[in-house]
Structure 1
Amino acid sequence: MKGQMPDWASGLLKTEKQNELSVTWTAPAVSDHGLGQWATASVRWIGPPQESERVLLRMKVAPEAELIWKPHLCPEEGMVVGDSVFRSPAIVFERGMDTFALIPDLRHLGECRPVPHVMDYVRQDRELFYGLAHYEKYGHVYHRLSHRRFPVYPGRELFRFHVVRWEKSGGGRNLIPVSRWLWETFARPAAALPAQSDDLARAMVAALRELEPYAMHAYDWAFRRWGDLVWHEFDMDGAAVGGCVFIVRASQAPGVGMEDRWRERKSIWNQAWFCSLRSAYGYRLWGGIRGDADLVRRANLAKELALSAPRINGWFPSVFRADDQGRWDNGRWGFSDRRPPGHDEYAHLPDMSWTCYWMLKWYRDLEADERLLQYAQSYAERLLTVQDVSGSFPAWIHPVLGYASPFLRHGVGTSVHALLLARLFAMTGNAAYLSAAERAMAFVLRDVMPEGRWEDFETYWSCAAEWEGKRHGVKDSRSGLYNQSTLSMYWTAEAFKELYEATGLASHLAAGEKALAELSLYQAVWNPAYMGIPVLGGFGVMNSDDEWNDARQSLFALTYIGYYGATGKREYAERGLGAMKASFYMMYCPENPLMRQLYERKHPFFGERDFGFEMENAHHGADGDDIVGEFTIFDWGNGAAAASLAELLFRTKLIGEGPYDP
Structure 2
Amino acid sequence: MINAHVGGHWQRIRMTPKLEPSVGDYEARTADGTAYRIRFNSIQDSGKLKLPGLAQMWKVEIEIRPGSSNVVAGVQAEFPADRGMNCIWKPHLSPSEGMTIGDKVFRSPAIVLEDAARLAALIPDLDHMEKNRIIPHVMDYVQDRHALLYGCSDYTEKGHVYYELTPVPRSLPDNADQLVMKFYFMEWKKCPSVTRDLRPVEQALWALYGGPRMEVVGLPELRELETYASHTYAWAFDRWKDVTWQQFELNGTQVGGVVFIVKATQKPGLGQENVWREPKSLWNQAWFCSLRSAYGYYLWGRNRGRPDWMDKALLALEFALQAPQTDGLFPGYYEAGEDQSWDRGQWIMSPPRRPPGHADFVHLPDSSWTCCWLLKWYRDLKRDRRILDYVEAYVNRLLTLQSENGSFPSWVRPVSGEVSPYLQESPECSLHLMLLCLWNEIRPNRTVLQAAERTASFISERILLTGRWEDFETYWSCASQWEGKQHGELDRRSGLYNQCTFGMYWTAEGFKELYRATSNPVYLNEGERVLAELSLYQQLWEPPYFPVPTLGGFGVMNSDDEWNDARQSLFALTYFDYYALTGNWSYRARGAWAMKASFYMMYCPENPVVKRMFEKVHPHFDEADYGFHMENYNHHDGTAVDGIGEFTIFDWGNGAAAASLAELLFRPDNDKEDSFE
Structure 2 stretches lacking a partner, 5+ long? 1-17
Q: Deviations over 1:506-555 (max 9, x none)?
A: 00000000111110000000011101111110000000000000000000
Aligned equivalent of 1:186: 209
Q: Which residue of 324, 334, 338 corresponds with 2:353?
A: 338
Match in the other structure for 2:62: 43
Question: 5 Å matches for 1:464-479?
Answer: 464-479=479-494
- 1:82 equivalenced with 2:102 (yes/no): yes
Task: Tell me how far 1:140 sits from its aligned partner.
Answer: 0.4
Secondary structure of the residue aligned to 2:591 is helix
Contact (CA 8 Å) 2:202, 2:535: kept in 1 or not?
A: yes
Counterpart residue number, 2:7: none
Within-5 A mapping of 1:200-239: 207-239=221-253
1:242 paired residue among 241, 256, 259 = 256
1:637 matched to 2:659? The reply is no
Deviating more after overlay: 552-561 vs 331-340: 331-340
Residue identity matched to 2:598 = S
- Tell me, in whole angstroms, the C-alpha distance in 2 between the residues paired with 1:383 and 1:151: 63
Q: 2:81 aligns with which of 47, 61, 66?
A: 61
Quote the Cα distance in structure 2 between the aligned partners of 1:391 and 1:493.
Answer: 17
| Structure 1 residues 238 and 92: alpha-carbon distance in aligned structure 2, compared to 1, 3 A threshold | same
Deviation at 1:411, TM superposition (A): 1.3
Residue among 420, 423, 427 paired with 1:412: 427
CA–CA separation in structure 1 for the residues paired with 2:357 and 2:346: 20
Match of 2:115 among 91, 95, 105: 95
Question: Which residue does 2:505 correspond to in 1?
Answer: 490
* Correspondence for 2:633 among 580, 596, 618: 618
Whole-angstrom distance in 1 between the partners of 2:581 and 2:90: 29
Residues 109-118 or 270-279, more deviating: 109-118
**Aligned match of 1:279 in 279, 293, 313?**
293
Which residue matches 1:573?
Answer: 588
1:111: how far off? 0.6
Give the conservation status (yes or no) of the 8 Å contact 2:134–2:179: no
Q: Matched residues in 1 for 2:523 and 2:574: separation?
A: 15
Residue 165 of structure 1 corresponds to which residue in structure 2?
Answer: 187
Check conservation: 2:215, 2:589, Cα contact below 8 A: no
Match of 1:130 among 125, 147, 150: 150
Instruction: Give the structure 1 partner of residue 138 of structure 2.
Output: 118
The answer as to 2:274 corresponding to 1:260 is yes
User: 1:284 is matched by which residue type in structure 2?
Assistant: Y
**Aligned partners of 1:489 and 1:515 also within 8 Å:** yes
Structure 1 pair 169–208 and aligned structure 2 pair: CA distance change class (3 A): farther
Provide Cα deviations, 1:146-177, integer angstroms capped at 9, x if missing partner. Answer: 14222359951321111112222664111111
Residues 16, 405 of structure 1: alpha-carbon distance in 2 compared, 3 angstrom cutoff: farther
Q: Is the 8 A contact 1:598 1:624 kept in 2?
A: no
Alignment of 1:310-459 (within 5 A): 310-334=324-348, 335-459=350-474
> Is this contact kept in 2: 1:169–1:177, CA < 8 A?
no
Range that drifts further, 378-387 or 611-620? 611-620
- 3-state secondary structure, aligned to 2:99: coil
What amino acid is the match of 1:329? D
Return closer, same or farther for 1:113/1:225 CA change in 2, 3 Å cut-off. Answer: same
Is the 8 Å Cα contact of residues 327 and 393 (structure 2) preserved in structure 1?
A: no
**What is the aligned partner in structure 1 of residue 619 from structure 2?**
604
Contact 1:453 1:483 in 2 (8 A): yes
Secondary structure of the structure 2 residue equivalent to 1:210: helix
How far apart, in 1, do the equivalents of 2:373 and 2:28 lie? 58
Aligned-residue offset at 1:490:
0.3
Q: Does 1:586 align with 2:608?
A: no
Task: Using structure 2 for the length normalisation, give the TM-score.
Answer: 0.91
Structure 1: gaps spanning 5 or more residues: 195-202
Distance in 2, matches of 1:162 and 1:151, equals 27
Q: Aligned partner of 1:366: which letter?
A: L
Deviation at 1:367, TM superposition (A): 1.4
| Cross-structure match for 1:507 | 522
Contact 2:121–2:187 (8 Å) recurs in 1: yes
Q: Is the 8 A contact 2:27 2:36 kept in 1?
A: no
SS in 2 for 1:529: coil
**Matching residue within 299, 302, 313 for 2:316:** 302
Q: Distance in 1 between matches of 2:468 and 2:285?
A: 22
Q: In the alignment, residue 351 of structure 1 is paired with which amino acid?
A: D
Q: Provide the residue aligned with 1:559 in structure 2.
A: 574
User: Residues of 2 paired with 1:582 and 1:39: CA distance?
Assistant: 33
User: Partners of 1:307 and 1:344 in 2: how far apart?
Assistant: 21
2:501 is the counterpart of 1:481: no
**Distance in 2 (alpha carbons) for counterparts of 1:627 and 1:5:** 49
Residue-by-residue CA offset, 1:253-311 (whole Å, 9 max, x unaligned): 11222212110111000000000000000000111111110010000000000000001
Question: Is 1:120–1:130's contact at 8 Å kept on the other side of the alignment?
Answer: yes
1:49 Cα deviation from its structure 2 partner: 3.8
The answer (yes or no) to whether the contact 2:26–2:37 under 8 Å persists in 1 is no
> Residue 120 of structure 1: SS of its match in structure 2?
strand
Residue 13 (structure 2) aligns with: none
Give the CA deviation at 1:652: 7.5
C-alpha spacing 1:602/1:640, structure 2 compared with 1 (3 Å): same
One-letter identity of the residue aligned with 1:597? R
1:293 to 280, 283, 307: 307
Letter of the structure 1 residue corresponding to residue 579 of structure 2: Y
Secondary structure of 1:211's aligned partner: helix
Partners of 2:161 and 2:561 within 8 A in 1: yes
Superposed CA offset, 1:369-395 (max 9, x none): 111122111100000000000100000
CA contact (8 A) 2:501 2:556 kept: yes
1:441-479 C-alpha deviation (Å, 9 max, x unpaired)? 100000111110000000000000000000010000110
CA contact (8 A) 1:619 1:626 kept: no
Q: Alignment RMSD, CA only?
A: 2.2
Q: Equivalent of 1:146, from 163, 166, 172? A: 166
Aligned with 2:150: secondary structure? strand
Matched AA of 1:174: D
CA–CA distance in 2 between the matches of 1:601 and 1:46? 41
Aligned equivalents of 2:327, 2:392: Cα separation in 1: 14
Q: Which residue of 2 aligns with 1:198?
A: none
**Kindly, what percent of the aligned residue pairs are identical?**
51
Amino acid at match of 1:637: G
Q: Which residue of 1 aligns with 2:534?
A: 519
Q: Distance in 2 between matches of 1:598 and 1:172?
A: 45
Secondary structure at the aligned position of 2:271 is classed as coil
Write the distance in 2 (CA, Å) between the matches of 1:457 and 1:122.
27
Kept after mapping to 2: 8 A contact 1:87/1:521: yes
AA aligned opposite 1:175: L
Question: Take 1:316 and 1:392, find their aligned partners in 2: how far apart are those partners?
Answer: 20
Provide closer, same or farther for how the CA distance between residues 6 and 405 of structure 1 changes in structure 2, counting only shifts above 3 A: farther
How far residue 112 of structure 1 moved from its aligned partner, in angstroms, is 1.4
Q: Is the 8 A contact 1:250 1:631 kept in 2?
A: yes
Where does residue 9 of structure 2 map in the other structure? none
SS in 1 for 2:562: coil
How many angstroms does 1:312 deviate by? 1.6
1:542 and 1:521 map into 2 onto residues whose CA distance is 11
Deviation at 1:313, TM superposition (A): 2.5
